[in-house]
């Protein structure tokens, strides 16, 4: 057979092999980065090897390559996530803000209430963006505030995506009770989460702060980090407008899903 024909026949197979090799390298590098994500103080090469279940030589080679790109940093023998990842995370966060802003503004206008964006980070709901209501009595929280999951609307919205075993494990720890309305029973929390799964909306009825209520939905942005939209309001106003607030929130989440698609 002609040599050029043989080479042509092998070309697709070689390309597939190269693609598979690239995917394998990326997957291993991602495993190393995810391992370091769980250890902000840093890990030794040996610790990364054990935690990632990768061969030591592979970890050493990957860490060296990632360090060149500033995706990891090595200091006093400890490997940490690097500054390039922080820059990428900042860019991704800004992209989320830009995508959500028009929808948040429309929701704030429709409801006349504060609108929040929360992210699930390290077992807590973290406020990452907010449009504050333009009225005398309003709910306003500092950006970066961290709230527990079991007694907040966005937190319970996040929990509804967890498997029951993880929710029970969370509830078996001592749960803080910021108000008399806070749920601290594993059975009661799981029952509420199951109701949220059926209805799609999570509620906080003065569970995190007295005289403050909220409702929230997880919004799908096609990102690994989970986000939720929430509408907090003073309890008296919330009770009067609860149905309208839920309808507006659902409409916003639907519009966001359509925009993402």
Q: What is the pLDDT of residues 83-125, one digit of tens each?
A: 887 777 666 665 677 888 999 999 999 999 999 999 998 889 9
Question: What is the per-residue pLDDT for 34?
Answer: 85
Contacts of 144 (CB under 8 A, 6+ apart): 126, 127, 128
Q: Using a cut of 0.75, tell me whether the model's pTM lies above it.
A: no
What is the assigned CATH class of domain 91-260?
alpha beta
Percentage with pLDDT > 70 across the chain = 89
**What residue spans define the domains of the chain?**
3-81, 91-260
Mean pLDDT of the chain: 88
CATH number of the domain located at residue range(s) 3-81 in this protein: 1.10.10.10
8 Å CB contact between 104 and 129: yes
Of the candidates 100, 98, 126, 90, the residue with the CA atom closest to the CA atom of residue 219: 100
Residues 133 and 115: their CA atoms lie apart, in Å, by 8
Min mean pLDDT across 18-27, 142-151, 250-259 is at: 18-27
> Confidence class of residue 6 from pLDDT cuts 50, 70 and 90?
very low
Q: How far is CA 70 from the centre of its chain?
A: 24
Question: What is the per-residue pLDDT for 11?
Answer: 57
Residues 35 and 189: their CA atoms lie apart, in Å, by 30
Residues 159 and 203: their CA atoms lie apart, in Å, by 12
8 Å CB contact between 186 and 164: no
Locate 120 and state its tokens. Answer: 């699930």
Of the candidates 88, 52, 92, the residue with the CA atom closest to the CA atom of residue 69: 88
Mean predicted confidence (pLDDT) in 231-251: 97
């Amino acid at each position: 057979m002609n040599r050029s024909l043989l080479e042509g026949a092998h070309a697709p197979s070689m390309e597939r092999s190269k693609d598979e090799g690239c995917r394998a390298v990326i997957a291993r590098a991602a495993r190393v980065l995810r391992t370091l994500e769980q250890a902000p103080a840093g890990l030794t090469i040996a610790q990364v090897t054990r935690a990632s279940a990768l061969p030591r030589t592979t970890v050493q080679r990957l860490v060296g390559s990632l360090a060149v790109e500033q995706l990891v940093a090595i200091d006093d023998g400890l490997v940490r996530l690097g500054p390039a990842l922080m820059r990428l995370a900042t860019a991704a966060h800004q992209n989320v803000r830009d995508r959500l802003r028009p929808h948040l503004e429309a929701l704030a206008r429709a409801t006349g209430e504060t609108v929040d964006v929360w992210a699930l980070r390290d077992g807590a709901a973290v406020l990452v963006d907010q449009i504050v209501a333009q009225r005398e009595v309003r709910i306003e929280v500092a950006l970066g505030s961290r709230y527990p999951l079991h007694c907040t609307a966005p937190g319970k919205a996040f929990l509804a995506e967890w498997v029951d075993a993880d929710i029970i494990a969370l509830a078996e720890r001592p749960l803080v009770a910021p108000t008399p309305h806070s749920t601290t029973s594993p059975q009661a929390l799981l029952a509420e989460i199951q109701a949220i799964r059926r209805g799609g909306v999570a509620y906080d009825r003065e569970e995190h702060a007295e005289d403050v209520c909220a409702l929230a939905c997880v919004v799908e942005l096609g990102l690994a980090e989970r986000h939720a939209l929430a509408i907090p309001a003073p309890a008296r106003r919330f009770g009067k407008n609860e149905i309208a607030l839920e309808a507006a929130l659902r409409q916003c989440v639907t519009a966001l899903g359509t925009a993402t698609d």
